């Protein structure tokens, strides 16, 4: 898997990173055996620095796209009758 920093922005005590991960599914992931599929997903992370250390971090990423590339399907819940 390759981790690519697309953008890094620093403002005050915060560092914002927009990233992408690309690779090939060659091993078991949460019980899903290797498919050989090419995968790619992206995300954004915000890190707050305090005393030269990471004090907090928040991350949003597109794991739905990742799991779909592994062959998983999103299905609606069955409603109660």
pLDDT at site 38: 93
CA 13 distance to own-chain centroid: 23
pLDDT for position 80: 64
Question: What pLDDT does residue 81 have?
Answer: 59
Q: How many structural domains does the chain have?
A: 1
Domain hosting residue 38, numbered range: 2-69
Distance (Å, rounded) from C-alpha 63 to C-alpha 40?
Answer: 10
Q: Residue 26 falls within a domain, yes or no?
A: yes
- In the chain, alpha helices (H): 63-69
Q: How many helices and strands, by DSSP H and E, does the chain display?
A: 1, 4
- Predicted pLDDT at 52: 94
Rounded CA-CA distance 26/20 in Å is: 18
pLDDT digits (tens, 9 = 90+) for 26-80: 988 888 889 999 999 899 999 999 999 999 999 999 888 888 888 888 888 887 6
**pTM of the complete model beyond 0.85:** no
Evaluate whether residue 33 is within a structural domain: yes
Average pLDDT over residues 3-21: 96
Q: Is 40 exposed, middle or buried (0-12, 13-18, 19+ CB in 10 A)?
A: middle
Residue 7 inside a domain? The answer is yes
Question: Reading across the β-sheet that carries 14-24, which strands appear in turn?
Answer: 2-11, 14-24, 38-50, 53-61
Q: 53 or 81: whose pLDDT is higher?
A: 53
């Amino acid at each position: 898997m390759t981790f690519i920093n697309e953008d890094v922005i620093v403002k005050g005590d915060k560092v914002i990173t927009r990233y992408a991960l690309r690779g090939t599914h060659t091993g078991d992931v949460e019980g899903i055996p290797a498919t050989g599929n090419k995968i790619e997903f992206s995300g954004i992370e915000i890190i707050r620095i305090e005393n030269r250390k990471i004090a907090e971090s928040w991350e949003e990423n597109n794991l739905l796209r990742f799991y779909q590339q592994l062959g998983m399907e999103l299905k609606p819940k069955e409603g109660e009758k």
